[in-house]
Amino acid sequence: MSLDKAKNLDEFMEGIWRQNPVFVMALGMCPTLAVTVSAINALSMGVATTFVLVCSCLLVSLLRKVVPKEVRIATYIVIIATFVTVVDYAIQAISLTLYEALGAFIQLIVVNCVILGRAEAHSSKVPPLPAMINAAGMGVGFTIGLLALGTVREIFGNGTLFGISLFGESFQPWVIMVLPPGGFFVLGGWLMFFAWWAKRKEGSKAVPAEGHQHA
């Protein structure tokens, strides 16, 4: 039983650290760069993507023996699109300003490679529970990635965090941080930081951990 738990935890952590969709696999770069202007946008985008990811992966996993191999991609897209429509209407109902801020990127969750990648590479081959755990880990990892970008960009570009002013009235915003180049700079900075961290971790151990793979 404890072995199962450890395995599940490992499955969950995979998306957060070893195969983080943003920082390791560099998937789903469109929303990563486009909607991370503020932390709240990043968080809601991450939550929406996680919801779609978990639901689609569950359904894909349940249907894995039913779907013919030849039409699997089309089936996955239809499943994902269904949940994206749900999220689309839900966000519209919750907050119209948020809906307008995220714009077309909510609908574009359909083509987010993280989701299709998980469905194709993982959920279609495993039972529902591990599929869901893995998807949830990936979703949380994606949300963490977006938040990492969104907080830095909001703090520098606007002087606020989740809309709360941090530095008072006379803060000088860095306009570049809310422009597209700022997204690339911050993403590059985080990638550098994680690469350095991973390297340091690897260096501290004499032998690299078993099963440690670079995606």
Partner 1 sequence: MSARIELRTAPHVKSPRTVETIMRTVVLSLLPICLFFIYQYGISAAASILVVTGACLVAERASTRAGGQSGDIGDWSATITGLLLALSLPPGFPLWMGAIAGLVAIFLGKSIFGGLGRNVFNPALVGRAFVQAAFPTAIASYTPSFLPGRFGEFIPSSLALPFMQPPATDAWVKAMQIDAIASATPLSQFKFEGVVAGFDQLLTSLGGHLAVGPSPLLILACGLFLAYRRYLDWRIPVAVLGSAVVLGWALHAFDPVRFADPGFVLLSGGLMLGAIYMATDMATSPVTPKGALLYGALIGVLTVVIRDFSGLPEGVMYAILIANAAAPLIERVTQPTPFGRGPSSKVRRATYPLTPSYISREEHHAVVPEKGSFKPKVNQ
Nearer to partner 1 among residue 146 and residue 177 (C-beta): 177
Q: What radius of gyration do the chain's Cα atoms show?
A: 19
* Residue 174 near partner 1 by CB under 8 A: yes
Nearer to partner 1 among residue 132 and residue 155 (C-beta): 155
Q: What is the C-alpha separation between 5 and 111, in angstroms, rounded?
A: 32
Nearer to partner 1 among residue 28 and residue 157 (C-beta): 157
> Considering Cα of 25, then 30, then 34, then 36, what sign does the dihedral take?
negative
Q: What is the C-alpha separation between 175 and 153, in angstroms, rounded?
A: 10
| Closest separation in Å from C-beta 176 to partner 1 | 4
| Cβ neighbours of 162 (radius 10 Å) | 11
> Considering Cα of 54, then 51, then 186, then 165, what sign does the dihedral take?
negative
| Closest separation in Å from C-beta 189 to partner 1 | 10
Q: What is the C-alpha separation between 69 and 34, in angstroms, rounded?
A: 34
The answer to whether the beta carbons of residues 186 and 152 sit under 8 Å apart is yes
Footprint of partner 1 on residues 131-160 (CB under 8 A)?
A: 159
* Residue 179 near partner 1 by CB under 8 A: yes
| Closest separation in Å from C-beta 23 to partner 1 | 18
| Closest separation in Å from C-beta 192 to partner 1 | 9
Number of residues that bind partner 1 (CB under 8 A): 12
Of residues 78, 175, 195, 215, which one binds partner 1 by CB under 8 A? Answer: 175
Nearer to partner 1 among residue 99 and residue 174 (C-beta): 174
* Residue 194 near partner 1 by CB under 8 A: no
* Residue 176 near partner 1 by CB under 8 A: yes
> Considering Cα of 95, then 35, then 76, then 25, what sign does the dihedral take?
negative
* Residue 127 near partner 1 by CB under 8 A: no
The answer to whether the beta carbons of residues 118 and 135 sit under 8 Å apart is yes
Q: What is the C-alpha separation between 46 and 169, in angstroms, rounded?
A: 30
User: If we measure between CA atoms, which residue out of 145, 118, 143 comes closest to residue 132?
Assistant: 118
From residue 47 to residue 76, what is the string marking binding to partner 1 with x (rule CB under 8 A)?
------------------------------
| Closest separation in Å from C-beta 79 to partner 1 | 35
Q: Which residues bind partner 1 (CB under 8 A)?
A: 159, 167, 170-172, 174-177, 179, 181, 185
